[in-house]
Structures are given as structure tokens and as C-alpha cells.
Amino acid sequence: MKRKTIESNLDLPLECQDPDLFGEFDEEQKLIYEDGGLDLILIENAAELMRRVMMSGVNIEKILAALSERYQNCGVLPSYSFPIYKGHPSDITGTLDQYVKGIKLMKRHIQKLKNHDCIFAVVGLIVDRDGGGHFASFFKQKDENHVTIFDSMSPGQIYSKIFAQLAKDMFLVDNVKIENRFTDKTSLQLTGGFSENDPVSLEIHKIGTKHERAMIRLQCTESQNHFCYMWSIWSIHLKMLELEPFQIAKVIYENRIDPLTVIKRYIWGLFTHPKLRLIDQIPEQYRDFFREHWPVIWTNDPFRDLYPYTTFFKYRLPVETCDDLSKCISLSYSPLIRLNVDDRIAPTEKTEKTIRCFMSKK
């Protein structure tokens, strides 16, 4: 049966517009709404539209192939996700067969690409049975006997160790170089977007009530920064331009630019790029919704003071279409970024009633 076309309401969460497609509100969304964060719910709805595009088909490979074609003779491995437990690298979920199957697949593709100057891939870990995961990029130069791994999360977390073992098994090398430390306290994606992890401001300042800390944890830009697979592509793009991610990270932090603004501007560039046009894969009735709510952040720390302020503001990012892929990457971390304060959405009585009706459903 053909689905009924639904006209998008820009101020109404997607869970209200099409619950069959987008599901019901979760408990975190309900807390955010009661705290005045309707804008954040809409921002995260736009992020979900983007995620569905990137996790469907071969769009990760499509972007990587475009980079390879544009810059140098590099081979692209298929994106593959390995199921694992949150624990020791040997704790593979399900059966060892899944791990071995993935390694064999990668080895076959690596063999086919042996004559390329370099090989790169975006590799994922499925870290729980609900499908939560984390991604990193692998980069191997033909004349080097090591694999470089870019992991956007904080240094020292277990995922880096698992990625290192994967790289050794895939490429049959003994040495792995892991890039994820940019300052003593943070990385480009400190919490991985996992809302149970404290943002750097709460790590530095152990203050606030339990409720205030919980609301900061749920709403901060680090919680919104759950785009590890896009950070992985971003890092490969830099490598193609003979730039090092840690050097660009230094520019980001020296100019007090929130990493979330960097990755959101980069994703916008890729989604609207004339050759890629990933935005066209978003259902037509939701494209205006995406255009309205994607280039927006919800933050309590617009000037990167790294202090856990309890008041949140809505800021609109300056974004533009980039005709050249190299411009997509340079625009993403431009120090000229200026956030523009935007009016928060005040729901109409009808919108308020609709949202609360859907939130009350069990």
C-alpha cells in the first residue's frame, strides 16, 4: 500500500508528523521539551534525516569515491561495521564468525587495491544490541608499514584499542598510529554524542545540581555531536589534501570554534554539493524541514568558555553550497564563522496541544 504524502510542518517534531516512520518520543526528548528545548528536538530531527541518508545504501562509499577521484589514486574499501561488546577487544558479540567474515571481506578488497597509492575506509563498531555504534577512519599509504586511524572521540577510550586490533588484522601490520588527542582535555568529539557522558565543561567544573547537570548533559553541543562517521570522512578529506586532522583541530581550538559547527557546515557542503546532491535523498516533504533546522545549534556556551552555563540559546550557522569539494572542507573550519542568534520557537497553542498529545502516548 502506498504511503500517504505528508506535508511537513516546520515547527512540529517529526514524531508528531509521521510516528509510523519516526517512532514515538523517548524520555530524553520529553525532558528536553519540558525544559523549553523544542528547538533542540527539531534540530535532532534534522540530524536523524541526515543519518538515515548516510546509513542507507552506499553513500559513505559514494563520498569517499568522489574524494579519491578528485585528489589522488587511492582505493576505497567498503564501509563495514563489526559487532562488539563494550569491553576488551576480544569480546566479540554473537559469534566470532561475524568478526572473521568481516576481516576476510576487507582483506579481499585490500588485495584488489594493492596497486593503489593509498587505501582508506570508514570502519564501524556496533557497541550495543540496539544498534548504537562508533566509527573511525583507516588510512594506509602503499609505501608505509603502518595504518593511521582517526578516532574523533576522546583519547584513552576502549574503542581506539578495538580499532587498532581491527587495522592489524585487516592490513597485517604490526604498527598502528591513532589520532584522537588534540588537547590534554578534549578531542573533536569528546563524548561521541552519547548523552550519558559528561561534556568537557562538567569535567572541568564539578558544579550544579543533579538536575542541572543532567539537562546540560542532554542539551550541550557535545551531546548533539554524534556524527563520528562524518568526522571520519572529514579526516580522510584532509588527508587527501595533505593536511593533518590534528593541525586543523589546533586551528579550531585556537579560534574557539565549537567542533559541532565544523562538522555541521561540512555535512551541509556535502549534502548540497552539485555532484553528490545527498539532500535529494531526503523525502521531498521533509527537505524544507532539513534546510530550516540543520544549520542550527542549541548551546549554553557559544563563546567556548567551557563553563557549564544553564541557559541555552539557538544559533543559526552561516552555510553555503560549495561547488568544489576542497571548499567544503575549508569552509567547515573557517575562523570567520560567526554565529547568529536566532529566535527560539514559541509553539502555538495548537502545536503545544499536538506535541503533548503525542508525548502522552505509551
Q: Tell me the per-residue pLDDT of 220-236, one tens digit each, with 9 for 90 and over.
A: 999 999 999 999 999 99
52: confidence class by pLDDT, cuts 50, 70, 90 = very high
- Residue 190 cell numbers, joined: 569528546
**Burial class for 56, CB neighbours closer than 10 Å (0-12, 13-18, 19+):** exposed
Say if 340 falls within a structural domain. Answer: yes
Instruction: Output the CA torsion 165→259→285→25 (10° steps).
Output: 80
Is the Cβ–Cβ distance between 182 and 188 less than 8 Å? yes
CA distances to 99, 175, 191 from 163, in Å:
12, 12, 17
Say if 4 falls within a structural domain. Answer: no
Predicted model pTM? 0.92
Say if 305 falls within a structural domain. Answer: yes
Say if 6 falls within a structural domain. Answer: no
Single-letter amino acid code for the residue at 89? P
- Residue 5 is predicted with a pLDDT of 47
- Residue 133 is predicted with a pLDDT of 83
Residue 202 predicted with pLDDT over 90 = no
Say if 337 falls within a structural domain. Answer: yes
What is the percent of the chain with per-residue pLDDT over 70, rounded to a whole number?
A: 89
- Residue 1 is predicted with a pLDDT of 41
In the chain, the number of structural domains is 1
- Residue 274 is predicted with a pLDDT of 94
The pLDDT of 45-53, averaged and rounded, is 97
- Residue 207 is predicted with a pLDDT of 85
Q: Which one is predicted more confidently, 249 or 84?
A: 249
Torsion sign across C-alpha atoms 109, 280, 188, 87: negative
Single-letter amino acid code for the residue at 52? R
- Residue 58 cell numbers, joined: 552506499
Q: How far apart are the C-alpha atoms of 316 and 43, rounded to whole Å?
A: 11
SS3 288: helix
Q: How far apart are the C-alpha atoms of 265 and 328, rounded to whole Å?
A: 8
The pLDDT of 127-145, averaged and rounded, is 83
Highest mean pLDDT pick, 7-11, 89-93, 208-212, 267-271:
267-271
Residue 126 predicted with pLDDT over 90 = no
Say if 12 falls within a structural domain. Answer: no
Say if 353 falls within a structural domain. Answer: yes
Containing structural domain, residue 107: 20-359
The pLDDT of 115-120, averaged and rounded, is 91
Q: How far apart are the C-alpha atoms of 260 and 228, rounded to whole Å?
A: 11
- Residue 336 cell numbers, joined: 570567520
DSSP characters for 218-242? HHSHHHH---HHHHHHHHHHHHHTT
Say if 311 falls within a structural domain. Answer: yes
The pLDDT of 254-263, averaged and rounded, is 91
How confident is the prediction for the chain on average, in pLDDT? 87
Residue 156 predicted with pLDDT over 60 = no
Find all residues with CB under 8 Å of 349, minimum gap 6, and list them.
none
- Residue 169 cell numbers, joined: 588484522
- Residue ranges with strand state E in the chain: 74-76, 80-83, 118-126, 133-141, 146-150, 175-179, 296-299, 313-316, 340-341
Residue 129 predicted with pLDDT over 80 = no
Is the Cβ–Cβ distance between 149 and 140 less than 8 Å? no
Q: How far apart are the C-alpha atoms of 196 and 199, rounded to whole Å?
A: 9
